[in-house]
């Protein structure tokens, strides 16, 4: 409390208008002070032995009184043992009791600091912690047994205590048992679901034991307290008559500012009046008034129920009896001189006589004025306790009249008490503000000094002022002082603490009616006072601190929980409504001022003030929610009111700024409002709306967040789509195509997918409010991804083709002087063009790895976007499709398969062509270009390209001959129309186009394999297209690898090499060198293996080896250059290709080997006759040994390709050729007919619907399709037999019939399937497809 100037006139101003005459107050206070001195035993300062002797004499003198005060524990529990049902205590009580006993034993519990109490509790704690005792307690859980065990321990300990003479230990046992029962009651209060009967039993035990333990209103303390002070009681009758020895008289003199001389005169005047006999008479009068129903000290009308009245009467009569017993025990002459029968006094009291001086609450530290607030009890802190009066006998003393005939009790005790408290408070305040008290000194928040507390307590006891009125009166006085700003607010909680303690011991319904109504009135006044304080504290919003309002809230909460202010509910509701309005008004004012301040700042970014405002609003709301998680005073949700007031204002401001924001975000390449700020504003607004919904669940805020920001998202999607091409170009330009990790891919593919992943993450992080709109956004992103993948594939393929087909001026193929190259040259026949082996570059391998890695990365994007979920959202939650007359789009997959019978442009019959194919639209724009196939008149491109159309489109198919210098020559041209009507069955169609040339006429023909499917704006469709681009690029690049290796493989496994090998004797080969070139891996292949597929030999061939026959080493030596070529190039592929790509290349190479071996043995299937001659048995044996050597090479003793993959269906078909190779022609024809009939009886495979984009939308669907394809039925041997028959004479007609039969059956099946599909499709036709345009001119 700060020191202030204190005007002397303030004394009169603080006096209540219902004042009691100060002279009368002084008179009655002085009488109590004199009585306190008269009845107080003198304290001797003799040595310890003398004190002990006199104390024993004192105890023996009033042992009779003590004997009546001991309560038998057995008597208390007798009725329960005799048949009352046991009530079990909660099991958790043992744990709580254990902690409490431990704290007491260790001296941590201030309420049980008495040494004897601690010692007894410690002994009981030792037994309590024993396992047998705890098991017993857990089993029966009897509260009576627990108390009895403690009583036994207390008796054992205290009986041996030397400081407790005679029967003093019995009193202490009673006292400690009562303390233990009360401790049990306190422990039960901390637990839930406690039986009411258990609580009532403990209350009963406590009521019977209580008079012998705690400090009570009689003014006398327990034996323990007296013992701790070490005071011995003297029975000498002489009492000092000087006021200097009268402590209370001196306190009164200082309080009323009476000189000592005058005070001595006043004391002498009242000496004969203020006697012990008069005090006893007052007490007996009070008892008689109670029995007679007189107004003072109380009657039935003063209480709301019989229970409350009986409780007070029992307690009051018990206390009065105790006071009389104590006085008569100390002065037996009083009993002799009193003419009344005092039996009822003793029977009504179970208490022992104790010193009256200890009833007053002492102030530790003596006369020190700067004691701390918590260092002493309040003067109203004790509660009167007593036992029920066992007899209501009439007082036989006729001299004691019923009424207000008292010596020490004033006419209106409560008014006198109130005036005394007020007088003491004013005096202590004057002293606190006097120069004698330093500003640094601590002063008690109760204001009252310890001497005044003791004086007030003494007067309250003698005037029979209830504790309820004492606490209420003090609170009222403090409230009035606070209203006048004479005391700080901290004094209010101190005064309320007294009420709280009192309510814990005595329920409000047991209070006198006048006291409870007075308390309710005071509470109502305090509630209004602090609601007003809270009202004004709201001016600090939103930066309101808890420390500012917490004191108000604590007081308001305490008052509200009391339930005493219900009568003021209407007034309080009005005040709370005002508080709510104030909070919202301040919040609106703060928002408006802050927004004006932000908008006043210079700058063209109109989104910045809104962004900063969202930060302020969210920061303020979170701060208030953290500081005030619970509603103020139970009903005022502070953060909810602030958010409810401010967020709608912000939304209104945002809507008003809509046009300006959009214009500022679209005004040029560098807009005033960056799109990033717009999306930040979206996130912040979304957070505010979520916050509004959380804090104001009943609020109605009409604002469509998604609709407001949708135009910005659409513009961002357009910008992202436009930038994607730049991302791809920049990534490829910066890439050196060097492997960066074990997976073998380079940086460009990672950079591109990082760029593609960024907009997806950005869009998902927006957490768009509308699920359907978000799905549409992601669909647009998927279209952008598909375009980026297509662009990347085309760019990488162009670089790949440049590396694989370098022009002489740009890149010279390095020539290596190696053994296998020399052998290749030596094996080449004179006059035949020699094949130059091609060496692969690491960069080409990295590009293939990039495409393979892109499939995995694209699959990760598929999962990140949750594409299937997005598609379901659009399908199930999208709005109804409007009736629009839009033209549908169709996606054509055009596969350029091969060309046949191309005619060289010059007249030389041996000339070959280096051809590629282009497809151009009606405007001459090139849509497709294939790779170049060199030196072939029957080239196979096997390339597929997608073309999207919305109407019939004419395409010009041109076959060109690549020229190293100058313009490429046109071999021939033809036209085809991609008409959706013709391909509406969604099946694959083989279309042969006859090539024409203006100068040369017919130039051969080209095969196109065309299929169609509907193009959709669908996320799965776009991902399917992206995967298809990657798959085709991967396949095309893989095919180039094989095309580069195939010529040399074909040359090494050719008929000329066979003929040369058979004539090996004339070549003069170095066998030792040949053996050195064959590795141990290949030598191990010479032995047979049970797991191998056995190649059958002719029946007439003998197993022995004739000297003129070729050995396996000689046969293998013929293809050693091929092995060396594989060693050189497959090592490069093995080093730089990823594991997946390497496996695919190896299998493609193996497949190519099988095709070449098959071509060595039999011609292709055709109606025309073949000039190819069958091989001899020796040549066939050599071919199959080559096949075995190559298989073992690729197997590499288990470290290469697995046998399961090597010995696939194609391998088994090639091996089966040996079975039929030597059969007679008629036998072959019969077997062919049988095989064909069996094939026709079974399900003839018909053309399936085109492989849809949807079947390739992720790696999962691609793997599933491969699995289904693998399970398809194997091809019969009929085709193999017909190919063998082509080398036999007079078989052309038979072969033609078989092929025609197969074609007829196939056509019938296809027609039936088409009809079935057409019948099933009953859907209405889409928008009409335009008519086919006329054939464009064949202009070059």
- DSSP H or E segment with residue 915: strand 915-920
Cα–Cα nearest to 728, from 748, 709, 747, 743:
748
Q: What is the dihedral of CA 243, 249, 255, 257, to 10 degrees?
A: -30
**Tokens 């094989």 correspond to what residue?**
1042
Tell me if residue 167 falls in helix, strand or coil.
coil
Tell me if residue 533 falls in helix, strand or coil.
helix
Interstrand relation of 889-900 and 940-949 (parallel, antiparallel or unpaired): antiparallel
Question: What is the DSSP secondary structure assignment for residue 363, as one 8-state letter?
Answer: -
What is the dihedral sign for C-alpha 1083, 1088, 1093, 1095?
A: positive
Cα separation, 896 vs 1010, in Å, equals: 9
444 — alpha (psi -120 to 50), left (phi > 0) or beta? beta
- DSSP H or E segment with residue 926: strand 926-929
Burial category of 1045 from C-beta neighbours within 10 Å (exposed 0-12, middle 13-18, buried 19 and up) = buried
Q: How far is CA 921 from CA 893, 949, 959, in A?
A: 15, 11, 15
Cα separation, 1090 vs 1071, in Å, equals: 30
Tell me if residue 632 falls in helix, strand or coil.
strand
Are 821 and 1054 in contact by the 8 Å Cβ rule? The answer is no
Residues in the chain, overall count: 1340
Q: What's the pLDDT at 1074?
A: 38
Cα–Cα nearest to 327, from 353, 347, 359:
353
Cα–Cα nearest to 973, from 950, 951, 954, 952:
954
Cα separation, 242 vs 37, in Å, equals: 11
Q: What is the dihedral of CA 1218, 1224, 1227, 1233, to 10 degrees?
A: 70
Q: What's the pLDDT at 946?
A: 84
Cα separation, 682 vs 709, in Å, equals: 7
Report cis status (omega within 30 of 0) of the bond before 542.
yes
Interstrand relation of 989-997 and 889-900 (parallel, antiparallel or unpaired): unpaired
- DSSP H or E segment with residue 995: strand 989-997
- The terminus-to-terminus CA distance of the chain in angstroms comes to 107
Q: What's the pLDDT at 417?
A: 94
Are 1259 and 856 in contact by the 8 Å Cβ rule? The answer is yes
Question: What is the DSSP secondary structure assignment for residue 143, as one 8-state letter?
Answer: H
- DSSP H or E segment with residue 890: strand 889-900
Interstrand relation of 1001-1015 and 953-961 (parallel, antiparallel or unpaired): unpaired
Cα separation, 823 vs 837, in Å, equals: 12
> Can you give the C-alpha Rg of the chain in angstroms?
56
Cα–Cα nearest to 223, from 147, 296, 326:
326
Instruction: Tell me the angle at which helices 638-656 and 607-627 cross, rounded to the nearest 10 degrees.
Output: 170
Are 298 and 312 in contact by the 8 Å Cβ rule? The answer is yes
Question: What is the DSSP secondary structure assignment for residue 1249, as one 8-state letter?
Answer: B
Are 13 and 483 in contact by the 8 Å Cβ rule? The answer is no
Q: What's the pLDDT at 195?
A: 74
Cα separation, 307 vs 454, in Å, equals: 32
Report cis status (omega within 30 of 0) of the bond before 1096.
no
DSSP state string for 254-312: HHHT--HHHHHHHHHHHTTTS-HHHHHHHHHHHHHHHHHT-SSS--GGGBSSHHHHHHH
**Tokens 């000498």 correspond to what residue?**
236
Question: What is the DSSP secondary structure assignment for residue 1286, as one 8-state letter?
Answer: T
What is the dihedral sign for C-alpha 60, 64, 65, 69?
A: positive
Instruction: Tell me the angle at which helices 196-209 and 143-158 cross, rounded to the nearest 10 degrees.
Output: 30
DSSP-H helix ranges across 866-1010: 867-877
Are 353 and 212 in contact by the 8 Å Cβ rule? The answer is no
- DSSP H or E segment with residue 778: helix 771-804
**In this structure, what token pair is assigned to residue 842?**
């690491």
Q: Residue 407 CA to chain centroid, in angstroms?
A: 76
Q: What's the pLDDT at 1336?
A: 63
Are 827 and 1048 in contact by the 8 Å Cβ rule? The answer is no
Cα–Cα nearest to 33, from 473, 354, 461:
461
pTM assigned to the model: 0.59
Average pLDDT, consecutive stretches of 10 residues, N- to C-terminus, the chain (1340 residues): 35 46 91 87 45 40 38 55 61 86 84 83 86 84 85 84 75 85 85 75 74 40 38 45 85 91 90 89 91 90 93 90 81 65 38 33 33 34 36 45 84 92 91 74 78 92 92 92 89 88 88 92 90 90 89 87 80 87 92 89 82 90 90 88 92 88 81 86 90 89 86 87 88 86 84 88 84 87 89 87 69 41 43 63 87 88 88 79 63 86 70 87 87 82 84 89 80 87 74 80 83 78 86 84 84 86 56 38 36 45 49 85 84 83 87 89 81 86 89 87 88 87 86 80 52 62 61 63 85 84 78 68 51 58
Q: What's the pLDDT at 409?
A: 93
DSSP state string for 1016-1046: -S-HHHHHHHHHHHHHHHHHHHHHHHHHHHH
Cα separation, 772 vs 769, in Å, equals: 9
Cα–Cα nearest to 6, from 369, 435, 419:
435
Phi, psi of 169 (to 5 degrees): -65, -30
Q: What angle do CA 765, 771, 775 make, to 5 degrees?
A: 80
Question: What is the DSSP secondary structure assignment for residue 840, as one 8-state letter?
Answer: P
Q: How far is CA 1003 from CA 179, 244, 1202, in A?
A: 121, 145, 45
């Amino acid at each position: 409390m700060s020191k202030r100037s204190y005007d002397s006139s303030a004394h009169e101003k603080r006096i209540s208008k219902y004042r009691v005459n100060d002279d009368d107050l002084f008179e009655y206070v002085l009488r109590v002070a004199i009585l306190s001195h008269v009845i107080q035993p003198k304290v001797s300062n003799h040595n310890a032995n003398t004190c002990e002797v006199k104390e024993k004499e004192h105890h023996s003198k009033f042992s009779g009184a003590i004997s009546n005060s001991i309560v038998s524990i057995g008597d208390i529990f007798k009725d329960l043992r005799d048949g009352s049902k046991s009530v079990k205590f909660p099991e958790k009580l043992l744990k709580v009791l254990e902690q409490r006993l431990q704290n007491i034993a260790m001296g941590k519990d201030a309420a049980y600091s008495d040494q004897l109490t601690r010692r007894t509790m410690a002994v009981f704690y030792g037994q309590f912690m024993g396992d047998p005792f705890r098991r017993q307690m857990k089993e029966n859980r009897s509260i009576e047994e627990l108390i009895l065990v403690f009583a036994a321990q207390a008796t054992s300990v205290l009986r041996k205590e030397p400081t407790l003479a005679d029967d003093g230990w019995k009193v202490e046992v009673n006292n400690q048992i009562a303390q233990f029962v009360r401790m049990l009651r306190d422990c039960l209060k901390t637990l839930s679901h406690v039986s009411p009967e258990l609580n009532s039993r403990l209350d009963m035990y406590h009521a019977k034991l209580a008079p012998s333990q705690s400090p009570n209103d009689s003014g006398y303390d327990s034996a323990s307290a007296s013992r701790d002070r070490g005071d011995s009681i003297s029975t000498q009758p002489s009492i000092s008559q000087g006021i200097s020895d009268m402590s209370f008289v001196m306190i009164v003199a200082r309080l009323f500012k009476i000189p000592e001389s005058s005070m001595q005169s006043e004391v002498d005047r009242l000496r004969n009046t203020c006697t012990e006999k008069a005090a006893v008479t007052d007490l007996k009068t009070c008892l008689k008034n109670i029995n007679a129903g007189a107004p003072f000290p109380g009657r039935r009308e003063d209480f709301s129920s019989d229970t409350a009245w009986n409780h007070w009467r029992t307690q009051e009569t018990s206390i009065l009896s105790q006071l009389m017993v104590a006085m008569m025990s100390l002065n037996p002459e009083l009993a002799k001189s009193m003419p009344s029968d005092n039996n009822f006094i003793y029977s009504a009291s179970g208490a022992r006589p104790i010193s009256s001086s200890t009833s007053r609450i002492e102030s530790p530290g003596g006369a020190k004025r700067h004691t701390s607030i918590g260092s002493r009890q309040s003067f109203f802190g004790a509660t009167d306790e007593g036992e029920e009066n066992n007899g209501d006998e009439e007082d036989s003393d006729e001299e004691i009249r019923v009424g207000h005939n008292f010596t020490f009790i004033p006419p209106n005790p409560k008014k006198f008490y109130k005036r005394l408290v007020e007088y003491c408070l004013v005096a202590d305040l004057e002293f606190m503000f006097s120069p004698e008290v330093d500003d640094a000194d601590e002063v008690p928040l109760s204001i009252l000094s310890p001497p005044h507390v003791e004086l007030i307590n003494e007067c309250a006891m003698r005037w029979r002022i209830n504790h309820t009125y004492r606490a209420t009166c003090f609170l009222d006085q403090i409230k009035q002082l606070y209203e006048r700003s004479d005391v700080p607010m901290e004094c209010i909680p101190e005064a309320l603490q007294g009420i709280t303690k009192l309510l814990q011991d005595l329920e409000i319904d047991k209070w006198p009616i006048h006291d409870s109504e007075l308390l309710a009135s005071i509470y109502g006044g305090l509630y209004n006072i602090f609601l007003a304080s809270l009202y004004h504290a709201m001016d600090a919003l939103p930066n309101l601190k808890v420390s500012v309002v917490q004191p108000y809230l604590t007081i308001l909460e305490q008052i509200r929980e009391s339930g005493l202010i219900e009568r003021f509910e209407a007034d309080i509701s009005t005040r709370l409504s005002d508080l709510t309005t104030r909070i919202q008004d301040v919040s609106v004012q703060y928002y408006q001022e802050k927004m004006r301040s932000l908008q006043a700042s210079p700058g063209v970014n109109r989104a910045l003030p809104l962004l900063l405002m969202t930060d302020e609003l969210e920061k303020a709301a979170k701060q208030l929610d953290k500081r005030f998680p619970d509603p103020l005073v139970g009903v005022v949700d502070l953060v909810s009111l602030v958010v409810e007031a401010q967020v709608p204002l912000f939304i209104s401001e945002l809507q008003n700024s809509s046009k300006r924001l959009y214009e500022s975000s679209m005004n040029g390449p560098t807009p005033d409002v960056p799109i990033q700020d717009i999306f930040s504003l979206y996130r912040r607004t979304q957070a505010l709306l979520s916050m509004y919904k959380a804090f104001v669940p009943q609020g109605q805020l009409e604002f469509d967040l998604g609709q407001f920001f949708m135009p910005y998202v659409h513009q961002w999607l357009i910008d992202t789509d436009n930038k994607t091409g730049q991302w791809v170009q920049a990534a490829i330009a910066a890439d050196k195509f060097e492997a960066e990790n074990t997976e073998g891919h380079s940086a460009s593919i990672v950079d591109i997918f990082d760029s593609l992943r960024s907009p997806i993450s950005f869009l998902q992080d927006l957490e768009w409010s509308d699920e359907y709109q978000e799905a549409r956004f992601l669909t647009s992103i998927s279209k952008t991804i598909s375009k980026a993948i297509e662009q990347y594939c085309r760019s990488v393929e162009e670089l790949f083709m440049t590396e694989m087909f370098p022009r002489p001026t740009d890149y010279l193929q390095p020539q290596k002087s190696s053994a296998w190259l020399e052998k290749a040259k030596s094996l080449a026949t004179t006059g035949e063009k020699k094949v130059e082996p091609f060496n692969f570059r690491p960069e080409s391998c990295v590009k293939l790895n990039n495409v393979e890695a892109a499939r995995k990365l694209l699959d990760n994007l598929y999962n990140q976007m949750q594409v299937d979920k997005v598609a379901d959202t659009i399908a199930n939650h999208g709005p109804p499709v409007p009736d629009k007359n839009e033209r549908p789009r169709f996606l054509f997959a055009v596969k350029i398969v091969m060309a046949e019978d191309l005619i060289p442009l010059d007249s030389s019959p041996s000339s070959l062509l280096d051809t590629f194919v282009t497809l151009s639209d009606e405007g001459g724009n090139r849509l497709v270009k294939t790779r170049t196939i060199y030196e072939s008149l029957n080239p196979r491109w096997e390339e597929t390209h997608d073309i999207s159309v919305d109407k019939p489109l004419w395409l010009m198919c041109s076959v060109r001959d690549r020229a190293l210098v100058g313009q490429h020559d046109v071999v021939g041209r033809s036209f085809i129309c991609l008409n959706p009507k013709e391909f509406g069955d969604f099946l694959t169609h083989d279309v042969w186009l006859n090539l024409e040339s203006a100068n040369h006429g017919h130039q051969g023909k080209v095969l196109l394999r065309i299929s169609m499917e509907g193009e959709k704006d669908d996320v799965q469709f776009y991902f399917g297209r992206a995967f298809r681009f990657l798959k085709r690029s991967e396949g095309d690049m893989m095919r180039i690898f094989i095309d580069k290796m195939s010529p040399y493989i074909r040359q090494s496994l050719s008929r000329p090499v066979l003929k040369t090998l058979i004539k090996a004797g004339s070549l003069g080969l170095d066998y030792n060198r040949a053996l050195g070139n064959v590795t141990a891996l290949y030598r191990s292949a010479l032995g047979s293996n049970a797991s191998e597929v056995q190649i059958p030999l002719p029946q007439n061939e003998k197993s022995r080896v004739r000297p003129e026959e070729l050995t396996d080493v000689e046969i293998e030596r013929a293809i050693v250059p091929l092995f060396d070529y594989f060693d050189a190039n497959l090592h490069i592929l093995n080093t730089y290709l990823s594991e997946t790509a390497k496996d695919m290349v190896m299998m493609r190479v193996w497949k190519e080997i099988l095709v070449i071996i098959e071509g060595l043995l039999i011609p292709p299937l055709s109606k025309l006759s073949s000039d190819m001659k069958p091989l001899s048995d020796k040549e066939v044996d050599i071919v199959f040994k080559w096949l075995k050597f190559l298989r073992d090479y690729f197997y590499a003793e288990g470290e290469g390709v697995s046998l399961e993959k090597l010995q696939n269906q194609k391998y088994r078909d090639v091996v089966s050729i040996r079975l039929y190779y030597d059969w007679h022609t008629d036998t072959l024809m019969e077997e062919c007919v049988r095989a064909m009939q069996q094939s026709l009886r079974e399900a003839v495979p018909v053309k399936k619907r085109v492989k849809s984009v949807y079947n390739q939308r992720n790696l999962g669907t691609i793997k599933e399709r491969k699995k289904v394809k693998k399970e398809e039925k194997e091809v019969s041997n009929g085709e193999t037999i017909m190919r063998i028959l082509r080398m036999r004479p007079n078989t052309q007609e038979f072969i033609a019939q078989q092929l025609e039969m197969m074609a007829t059956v196939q056509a019938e099946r296809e027609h039936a399937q088409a009809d079935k599909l057409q019948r099933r499709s009953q859907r209405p036709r889409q928008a009409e497809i335009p008519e086919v345009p006329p054939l464009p001119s064949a202009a070059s």
